[in-house]
Structure 1
Amino acid sequence: MTYHTSRRRLLGFASSLALTGALMTSGSLSQASTLPTTQQDGIETPSSDGLGVAPGQHFWDALALKPQTAWSRLREAFQWQAQWQADHRHPRVQAWIDHYRASPHNIVEITERARPWLAWITEQIETRDLPGEIALLPFIESSFDPRARSHMGATGLWQIMPRTGEALGLQRSGAWDGRLDVVSSTRAALDYIELQADQWYEGDIELSLAAYNAGAGTVNRARRIALSRGRPGHYWDLDLPAETMDYVPKLLAISAIIADPIRYGVSLPEIDEAPAFAQIPVTRALTLSEAARLAGVPQGQLAELNPGLLASRATPRQVRRLLVPAERAERLLAALETRQSPAGDGNPSIHVVQRGDTLSAIASRHAVAMVDLARWNDIQRLDTLQPGQQLTLSGR
């Protein structure tokens, strides 16, 4: 079994040399890796596509009654399942299927945590024409916990190491960590997987996934040894660290269970096909409490959607967008537009920077102290004002 990208895409990273040398590792133990190893010997239920066609009911009638879900859309994006079945199931994959199915409640718990992210991640996978199975990589890496941290320093849904994150452009500061931000880290992780597949492995995604786990240096050395011994040099031919030897089999195993949950006695949580969140641009300093109040949602819900925001305040200098529940996006946008009309238009709490404005002049115009205006808007340098930038005049 060897799986390749269906297209080749060259990604322009200014820091490609740094990226090539960076090592990535899952590090921390996920819930997936701590499931019991005893096998379940119960009788399997017959394979089913989950449509539940009643006697006398036509297949297409049942299909029409079943709306698309995040799970069904993900299954449509799977590219490896048919080949894996045709290859009579690699024993390492089957061993992990038995491992996971022994504790189906753990699968349900982890997939429940995928609720806010699964539909959006699947969209990104589809856009790149990558195998849908990769959308389940966070199951292996972090148990779909965006705040997961390993003792080795890997962080976030995709468990990105600091050095690799820097090479991928994921910014970090005392107020922001792009590795924790699901949107930024997902794009970076997929970029990294595609880049390595094209740069080192002629589009071989399995080898790229192995390198994602163990580092390209480790995989390349193992591959050279395999080739010197007359082996093809595919993932399944290599002698790799134990965790990496299990990495692709784990992904194929959980994908097989998601592909046919009824067969494996798993009841997946219902997740809508549409992404659960919307992205709102941050054009002025905005606290989570203010955003939550304007959107009409609990502040804790916004904090869960924005784990990269280490402080409770978003500023344009550090954060480009805020994630909010999709059904609340229009309300928040309307509220922000009302509050961000230029000074003099009936909204004294916001000033929209015009060309030629200085912080001193703005402070004088609105009778506030310049140091307060800078503090309220997290302005570190006086020459960083940009036309269209919105400044709060009250610190709220």
Structure 2
Amino acid sequence: MRRRSTSLALGIMLGLAGTANAQSLGAGLSQNLAGAAALPLDASTLPAPSVRNGQDIFASFREGLAEPTCDAEATSPRWQKQFAHAPARLANQNDDALVLFGYVVEELRKASLPTEFALIPFVESGYRPSARSAAGPAGLWQFIATTARNHRVPMSEGYDGRLSAVDSTQAAVRYLKTLHGMFGGDWRLATMAYNAGEYRVLQGLRKAGMNATNAVPAELPGLSPVTHAYVEKLHALACVLENAEEQPSVMASLDRTVPVLKSHTLPAGTSVQQWAAQRSLDPARIARLNPAASGRGRPQSAPVRLLAPVNTPAVDASAMVASLDEAAMPAVAVASAQPAPAAARSVASAADRPRNRRHTVRNGESPWTIARRYGMPVKALLSLNGLSGKAVLKPGAVLRVED
């Protein structure tokens, strides 16, 4: 089912695809601003935040979508029903889905890719790094072994890099960046190519007399129903997450502090349990996030990459313990252990929200961020101002908002 072969031509394109400038998330710019707003800051010297609010992960995902508004007519009720559990997975404090989702969203935005691609692991593996299919694919992105090797995922006796969230995600981002450029920035065509192989999609375009700029993905000939359904699933899942904005219980559950994850080096001869214990992290959870490094057969003669919270010095890391294992410490204790960065602020309470009925758009603002500022659904903001979901807000424009 996962026929993602890579030819020499694609390998050459992969080598050319890594030159694009990464898009900053801006989250790090908010760190340490409290009490120093009047001082000139060099953004390059500010440390990246070690924690963030779950609602900010959700907001970053929504802001990065190529199609920010759900097209209900093009959405299959069948797939919406199948993925109806996704918001609850993200909201569940005992589930790793939210921290992994945040990591993938950030990697995609750094690569200037649509965050629709962050939904692929939901469809492929349910955001479980240890997922394996009887047909052969494995890991978050469900690569087959051949595709994994073609995309520089480490594979050796006793070590399966497909089960590494770091190795597999970086490979998937490289591959998707190539496909995104190959198909004119159309996330649907890129997704179809991810599922079926790029040459099948190119052949379908030729048969239909289309190209990447005028293609109608749903009408491409020669592709299996599985590939067409793949795109439908991602769109349905995006709609499910958009509708989650209208579920107060889900949004309230997302309003919690979670760790920012990054790649670390696990030294040769060191187990995941030892590494986690040295940093006062939950060994079971670190092992769960890193099944490739946790396997008993892992060769001990070479270091491997590990996905773990940003700040993990081999000293007392109580703040990171609190962030990683929230069930063991109330949220108020987490906040007292480390001042929350601006990027991790929760949605303002009704009493704190601005009361203006007009809002002047500032540089970098989107309908989602403005709606969130005023505590209103993004659909309501768009409707109130006669805007479509694809509207581009220009700085200086004045919008009506609800008070």
In 2, Cα distance between equivalents of 1:105 and 1:202 = 33
Deviation digits for residues 40-97 of structure 1 (CA, Å, limit 9, x no counterpart): xxxxxxxxxxxxxxxxxxxxxxxxxx98532122222222124x54xxx443x24346
Q: 1:316 to 1:234 in 2, by over 3 A?
A: farther
- Aligned partner of 1:202 in structure 2 is 184
Deviation digits for residues 340-376 of structure 1 (CA, Å, limit 9, x no counterpart): xxxxxxxxxxxxxxxxxxxxxxxxxxxxxxxxxxxxx
- Aligned partner of 2:227 in structure 1 is 244
SS at 1:286 equivalent: coil
Task: Specify the code of the residue in structure 2 equivalent to 1:141.
Answer: E
Deviation digits for residues 193-251 of structure 1 (CA, Å, limit 9, x no counterpart): 1212323x23332111101111223322322222289x954312213211111111211
Q: What displacement does 1:122 show?
A: 1.3
Q: 1:99 to 1:73 in 2, by over 3 A?
A: same
- Aligned partner of 1:322 in structure 2 is 306
Q: CA RMSD in A?
A: 3.5
Deviates more, 1:182-191 or 1:263-272: 263-272
1:108 to 62, 73, 88: 88
SS at 2:264 equivalent: strand
Task: Specify the code of the residue in structure 2 equivalent to 1:212.
Answer: Y
Structure 1, unmatched stretches of 5+, are 1-13, 21-65, 335-396
Q: What displacement does 1:188 show?
A: 0.7
Q: How many residues align?
A: 267
Deviation digits for residues 97-127 of structure 1 (CA, Å, limit 9, x no counterpart): 64347xx446524774412311111111111
- Aligned partner of 2:167 in structure 1 is 184
In 1, Cα distance between equivalents of 2:248 and 2:207 = 41
1:149 to 102, 118, 132: 132
- TM-score (normalised: structure 2): 0.57
SS at 1:321 equivalent: strand
- 2:298 aligned with 1:305: no
- Aligned partner of 1:288 in structure 2 is 272
2:119 to 109, 114, 136: 136
Whether the aligned pair in 2 keeps the contact of 1:16 and 1:167 (CA below 8 Å) is no
Whether the aligned pair in 1 keeps the contact of 2:54 and 2:98 (CA below 8 Å) is no
Q: Give identity over the alignment, percent.
A: 25
In 2, Cα distance between equivalents of 1:298 and 1:186 = 23
SS at 1:330 equivalent: coil
- Aligned partner of 1:227 in structure 2 is 209
In 2, Cα distance between equivalents of 1:195 and 1:151 = 28
SS at 1:160 equivalent: coil
- 2:55 aligned with 1:75: no
In 2, Cα distance between equivalents of 1:74 and 1:134 = 10
- Aligned partner of 1:122 in structure 2 is 105
Q: What displacement does 1:189 show?
A: 0.7
1:160 to 114, 135, 143: 143
Task: Specify the code of the residue in structure 2 equivalent to 1:77.
Answer: G
Task: Specify the code of the residue in structure 2 equivalent to 1:119.
Answer: G
In 2, Cα distance between equivalents of 1:220 and 1:287 = 45
Task: Specify the code of the residue in structure 1 equivalent to 2:106.
Answer: E
SS at 1:260 equivalent: helix
- 2:244 aligned with 1:257: no
Task: Specify the code of the residue in structure 1 equivalent to 2:88.
Answer: V
- Aligned partner of 1:9 in structure 2 is none
Q: What displacement does 1:321 show?
A: 3.0
In 1, Cα distance between equivalents of 2:295 and 2:125 = 22
- Aligned partner of 2:366 in structure 1 is none
